[in-house]
Amino acid sequence: MKGYVKWVENQIKFCNFKMPPERFIRFVLILAIIMFSFSIVMYFISGIIACISIIVVLFLAELFLHVVLISVANKRAAIAEEMLPDVLRLISSNLKAGIIPERAFMMSARTEFGPLSEQIKEAGKSLVVGESIDKAFKVIPKKINSPVLSKTMNLVVEGVKKGGNLAPLLEHLAEDIKSSLMLRKDIKAHVTSYTMFIFLAIGIGSPILYASSTFLTETLIGLSEVLPAETMQSGMLSFSLAGVNLTAGFVFWYSVVLMIVAAAFGGILIGLIQEGKEFAGVKYIPILTFLELGIFYVVKFQLLASFTVF
């Protein structure tokens, strides 16, 4: 429980929300208690299906709340990484112009820099109250969950401690980060084909195959009910329709569950390929799920339904 509370505190800090972590945790627990109690009531009123449905809705609601925290934190980190080279260049230019460090920080805190603007102001305020320059740089990544930003600030602190000239150091770091970001974009452009392949295979190909296999299975089940159970033989080939114990409902829901699982892993895989983060692909999971289920419904109940015999 302490680990979860710490995680929520960090995520709310990274999102820069003003809401206390205790309020978020309290809301999550109250929602879980209410929905779970309601599921028990619905079990006695409508049966196990209604109970399971409410539990599934509860799970999705809780998942959505936590995904929002992760998504907002990752979005702020992405903006900060994009703006970081410009921020470092601006601070370096101000220092070269002879402006004192605390004033250089405050002048560099422009609104177009997004989350970095607030953190630079905090660093400038720490310099005003007498903190050292290395401690000021350590303030910048505290509320932004960005490994690139943290590593950059650590490099700056190490350079300052070893007697390096701050302005050229910031300028060189800005050039290196800019080159790294451009290289990342080039790699992202090259792996787009892999992303499209995964998206087409999971979002379009798999529901067509599942719909076709479900239709074929239902047809075989229908044949087993009307044809004799003895083995039929033609030349060297023989087959029997006896012993088909599957039901159409089981095959249908089995296919739906497999498609949802494939959408979840496909979204995570796309996130890993594009941005190197599993949670970056969470936003693709609903898209893949709705696309899969939509195509499955159209193929099975609209196109193949016209060929149904049983």
Q: What is the mean pLDDT of residues 19-42?
A: 88
Residue 290 lies in a domain: yes
End-to-end alpha carbon distance in the chain: 54
From CA 79, how far away is CA 305, in angstroms rounded?
49
Q: What percent of the chain has pLDDT over 90?
A: 0
Measured over the CA atoms of residue 266, residue 272, residue 274 and residue 277, the dihedral's sign is positive
Q: What is the pLDDT of residue 230?
A: 53
Q: What is the mean pLDDT of residues 258-277?
A: 84
Q: What is the mean pLDDT of residues 253-257?
A: 86
Among 181, 212, 235, the domain boundary falls at 181
pLDDT in tens, 184-198: 777 777 777 788 888
Q: What is the pLDDT of residue 182?
A: 83
Whether 123 and 175 map to the same domain: the answer is yes
Residue 95 lies in a domain: yes
Q: Is the pLDDT of residue 13 over 70?
A: yes
Band (135; pLDDT cuts 50, 70, 90): confident
Q: What is the mean pLDDT of residues 1-30?
A: 86
Q: What is the pLDDT of residue 18?
A: 83
Q: What is the pLDDT of residue 45?
A: 83
Q: Report which DSSP code applies to 188.
A: H
Q: What is the pLDDT of residue 228?
A: 54
From CA 275, how far away is CA 262, in angstroms rounded?
20
Whether 171 and 205 map to the same domain: the answer is no
What is the DSSP annotation of 262-293? HHHHHHHHHHHHHHS-SGGGTTHHHHHHHHHH
pLDDT in tens, 212-239: 888 888 777 776 665 555 555 555 555 5
Tokens of 217: 């299975």
Q: What is the pLDDT of residue 100?
A: 83
Q: What is the pLDDT of residue 215?
A: 83
Residue 97 lies in a domain: yes
Among 181, 201, 216, the domain boundary falls at 181
Band (246; pLDDT cuts 50, 70, 90): low
Q: Is the pLDDT of residue 59 over 80?
A: yes
Residue 41 lies in a domain: no
From CA 34, how far away is CA 238, in angstroms rounded?
58
- Is residue 94 exposed (0-12), middle (13-18) or buried (19+ Cβ within 10 Å)? buried
Whether 146 and 208 map to the same domain: the answer is no
Whether 201 and 137 map to the same domain: the answer is no
| Domain region containing 274 | 191-227+244-310
Q: What is the mean pLDDT of residues 152-177?
A: 84
pLDDT in tens, 60-79: 888 888 888 888 888 888 88
Residue 93 lies in a domain: yes
Whether 197 and 306 map to the same domain: the answer is yes
Whether 173 and 257 map to the same domain: the answer is no
Q: What is the pLDDT of residue 157?
A: 84
Whether 94 and 174 map to the same domain: the answer is yes
Q: What is the pLDDT of residue 66?
A: 87
Q: Report which DSSP code applies to 231.
A: P
Q: What is the mean pLDDT of residues 12-31?
A: 88
Residue 27 lies in a domain: no
Whether 152 and 221 map to the same domain: the answer is no
Domain tally, the chain: 2
Whether 149 and 202 map to the same domain: the answer is no
Whether 216 and 121 map to the same domain: the answer is no
Whether 202 and 307 map to the same domain: the answer is yes
From CA 1, how far away is CA 279, in angstroms rounded?
22
pLDDT in tens, 89-105: 888 888 888 888 778 88
Q: What is the pLDDT of residue 231?
A: 53
Residue 140 lies in a domain: yes
Residue 280 lies in a domain: yes
Q: What is the pLDDT of residue 4?
A: 83
pTM (whole model) above 0.75: no
Whether 161 and 270 map to the same domain: the answer is no
Band (287; pLDDT cuts 50, 70, 90): confident
Q: What is the pLDDT of residue 116?
A: 86
